[in-house]
Every structure is written in structure tokens, then in C-alpha cells.
Amino acid sequence: MYAKGHVVLLHAFPLNSTLWRSQIERAPTGWHFVAPDLPGFGASVLPAARSMDGMAREVLNVLDEQGIDRAVIGGMSMGGYVTLALYKLAPERFSAMILSDTRATADNDQQREGRGKMIHTVREHGAGAVADEMLPKLLGATSQRERPQLAAQVREMIEGNSREAIAGAVEAMMTRPDSRPLLAHITVPTLVVCGEEDVLTPPSDSEALHAGIAGSRLTRIERAGHLSCIEAPEAFSMAMNVFLGELSAPE
């Protein structure tokens, strides 16, 4: 069996590592969860990265600094894009993968146009304006109706980030490559998770990831949107912890 080890979790845009607080609190015995802030976000003092490879290389630096040779590495939304970029750069650092509420495709023309408008919004009006624009899309209909306190938590995470961090991440996302050709080369155990009510990366995107990664597992979280790990923390953590508990390989 795998010696229980490290799980590295990469946060969504435009949030920070506190997104994973509930999962860290529910970490199974023997597993050490690491949730770094991506460059420029949260408590990170690094300059904003403007490419997925740049973000991925900074995650590699975190692994090296903490002496982590291999880990279960995963991410939500933008964190999933970084996870795929990292696998392309250094597949040997993965013992398994988690992809949540994310997609493999590159942005289309309409999406890139929207990203350009967001760069203008954040530079002219700040992170609060980005929160105003994104909050209705980040949280699912059930959360907006039944868990209104989540909106304040998400807004606090967004508004804690600098304009340059947000603008740089938007640039990285709008220029990221199509990762679909990579999927067939992912050979580590992979869990794909999505909120049933996700409107930004709908379940069809997760189904495509699942279909493209041989042997992967797909878990759909009911009553949750794009931020499924905080909208349904118990269900999300259970899916992840069951996956971790079933990892096995020769010594």
C-alpha cells in the first residue's frame, strides 16, 4: 500500500488557500494536507504569475521547499488548470490526482473576450468589482438560497487579493493551452469531482475529464455549484477521503 503522505490542494480563482479549510479539518489520519496560496494570492508574497506554467513551477518550488517528492496533487477550477500544467511539467511528482470543478479545454473566443473585460474591471475598479461580477456564478442556486452566509466568506477571500494578482491569473487562464491531449497520458489514480449546480464549469466538463482519463472516478456533489468544497464540505471531503483510503500500489 501507499504510505500515507501528502495531499497538495490548489485553490480556485479568485480566492485563496482558505478555500480548503474544511478539507484540512477533515484530513484522514496519516495524511498531511498542504494548501499553498498561488502566486500573489492570499498570504503569498510572490509576484503575480501570468501563465499556468509559471504557477505550476511555483507549486514545484513549494514541494521542493517542504521536501515532498511525490504527492496526491489536485485543484479546483483554476487550481485544476495548474494541476494539469504541473502534470505536464513533472508527472513523476504525482502519486494521484484530484480535479474539481474544472475543465481541460482552452478558452474559446467568447471566453477570452470576457477575460479581457475582467482584467479591465479589476484594474479600474478593484477586487470588489470582481466579487460583484463573479459571486452569482461561483455559488450554486441551493447555496445562494439556503446558505447566504457563504457569499460573505467568498467575498472576503476575493477582496483580500491584489489587483495585479487577479489580473495576472486572468491572463494565465485566457492563454492556457488545450489540455485534452494530455488526458490520455495521465496514468495515476484520478478523482474528478463536480458540483451538480456548477454553471462555470458544468458537469459535462467533468464528464469529459472522466472520459479522457483512463480509470478515473467521477463524483458529482448534489446541491453544490462551482465551489463544491465549501458548499458541501462534508460530501466533498468524504469523496476525497474515500479516494485517498483506496489508493494502493506495490511498495
Q: Count of H helices and E strands in the chain? A: 12, 6
pLDDT in tens, 87-114: 999 999 999 999 999 999 999 999 999 9
Tell which residue, 199, 185, 177, 227, has the closest CA to residue 94: 185
The answer, yes or no, to whether residue 142 has pLDDT greater than 50, is: yes
C-alpha cell of residue 132 = 460583484
Number of C-beta neighbours around residue 117 at 10 A: 12
Whole-structure pTM value: 0.96
Least confident of 2-11, 74-83, 114-123, 232-241: 2-11
pLDDT in tens, 27-70: 999 999 999 999 999 999 998 899 999 999 999 999 999 999 99
Q: Where are the domains of the chain?
A: 6-246
CA angle 153, 128, 158 (to 5 degrees): 40
Question: With 0-12 CB in 10 A as exposed, 13-18 as middle and 19+ as buried, what is 167?
Answer: buried
Least confident of 48-52, 152-156, 226-230: 48-52
Q: Which CATH superfamily is domain 6-246 in?
A: Alpha/Beta hydrolase fold, catalytic domain (3.40.50.1820)
Beta pairing class for 94-100 and 71-76: parallel
